[in-house]
Each structure stands twice: as C-alpha cells, then as structure tokens.
Amino acid sequence: MSLKMFSLEGKTALVTGANTGLGQGICTAYAEAGAKVIGVARRSCQETADKIAAFSGSFTEIIADLSDSSAIPHIVEAAGKACGRVDILVNNAGIIKRCDAADVTMADWDAVININEKMVFFLCQAFAREWIADKRGGKIINIASMLSYQGGVRVPAYTASKSAIMGITRALANEWAAHGINVNAIAPGYMATNNTENLRKDDQRSDEILSRIPAGRWGTPEDITGAAVFLASDASAYVHGFTLAVDGGWLAR
C-alpha cells in the first residue's frame, strides 16, 4: 500500500460552508493534500483563503445562499469556470435551531430542511449528473451528525434532516456506485464550532455532554480532516454508502 492513494493532487474539491468551522478545516486539509479547493459560502471566506495561502495552496470562493435551490446552477457554472471539473463534493453547510418540539414553527422547520437536506440532495444530483455523463466518477461526502443515529433534545428539524442525510447517502450510493461515484458521510460528534456555541455556553449541558464523551473533550475541525481526506481519496474506492462517525467514542457509550 502506498500513501499516494490518500493524495488529492490533480483533484478539485467543492466544499459548502467554507468560511468557518468544520468546512474551513476540510478546505484547509484538502488543499494540504494537494487539491484545488472551491469554497461555497454566503459570506467572505477570507480567513479560509488566508490559511490556505499560508502554504501556497489553491482556494477560490463562490458566494451563494444555500437556503435557495436556485443557487445551484450558479454554483455549478462558477465552479466550472474557476477550476474546470469538480471531482469531490462536500455538503457541509448546515444550520440548527433549538426549540421545544411543541413550539417549532413551519418557517423554522422549512429553513432547516431546505439547507440541511433539500440542498444537499440537489447539489449531489447536479454534480452526479455531470459525473455520470463524463463517466469519470466522483466523490461525495455529506456531513451527518450524531442525530443521524439519535433523537437529540429540542432540535427535531435538525434530527429529521441529519437522519435523512444518512438515508440519502445510502440511497445515492446504491444508484451511483456503479458509475464510479462514492457517496459517503461523516457524522461528527460534539465539535467546538459556532454550531455548538450555545451548548458550550450552557455549563450544565456542556458538563453533561463532556462527561459522556469517552475522549473527554469536544472535537475540533482538525479532528474530522483525516476522515474527510480518506473519503475524498482513492483510498476509499470501495467504500460506499457509509456514515463514518468521528465522535470521540460518543456512539460507543
């Protein structure tokens, strides 16, 4: 076995939610592994661009609001213009809204489902259509959650969307594996990003969570980069439809 199979040299990766958190970590790792990286975000990705420029990696940003599926043709066209063929798609952007189930509004439900689930499916479809047509395959990595496995507390729309991500990942793998497209997911555990800021500020919830994580700490964006590079690389050629937990042992409890 050669470590070259983990290299992303010559590949282009498109990562959504590239300005911060896990998306920024994945962009940086992909650029370090040799990929040209396209970051999609609704605001500037300057911090990500600076991190990648520090080691002379390649990064281009596309500004798009992922709550609106009409952004998809723009993203596909802009990515093609910037870098030619996209080889790797990471559906990372996502939102969470904490609220008692009895009080969830339809507007909040739709907002979460649109970004976390609908946009993910249709971005997969947009790139897979090209990959099926040109017969050169591709890699899709969807960002799932512990709430793809568990019910969670006060985040029912998020749980619905992340449970759907695990199902969509399996469904698309079944259809597209024969086209050389690997569709997999990563389920991060509790990671220190904006997504968990409110949880981490709540001393009681934070203590409860930390005491249940076998690793005894919150994860970091860097913690998921090994799995992200693996699933984007030739090393995962025969891995299809799997959701890989990177959770400090949370699911093992």
Question: Widest CA span of the chain, in angstroms?
Answer: 54
Q: Which is nearer to ligand NAP, 131 or 149 (CB)?
A: 149
Among 92, 182, 184, 225, binds ligand NAP (CB under 6 A): 92
Asked if residues 90 and 74 have their Cβ atoms less than 8 Å apart, the reply is no
203-to-111, 208, 210, 211, 213 alpha-carbon distances in Å: 28, 9, 10, 12, 15
Catalytic residue flag (residue 158): yes
Of 30, 53, 20, the C-alpha closest to 191 is: 20
- Site for ligand NAP contains 43 (CB under 6 A): yes
- 197-214: buried (b, 16+ CB within 10 Å) or exposed (e) per residue? eebeeeeeebeebeeebe
Of 127, 197, 188, the C-alpha closest to 162 is: 188
Q: Which stretch binds ligand NAP (CB under 6 A): 29-37, 46-54, 79-87, 183-191?
A: 183-191
- Site for ligand NAP contains 193 (CB under 6 A): yes
- Site for ligand NAP contains 23 (CB under 6 A): yes
For residue 146, the minimal CB distance to ligand NAP (Å) is: 6
Q: Which is nearer to ligand NAP, 57 or 248 (CB)?
A: 248
Residues numbered 194 to 223 that lie near ligand NAP (CB under 6 A) are: 194-196
Among 11, 13, 14, 19, binds ligand NAP (CB under 6 A): 19
Task: Tell me the residue type at 152.
Answer: G
Residues lying near ligand NAP in the complex (CB under 6 A): 17, 19-23, 41-43, 65-67, 92-95, 115, 143, 145, 188, 190-191, 193-196
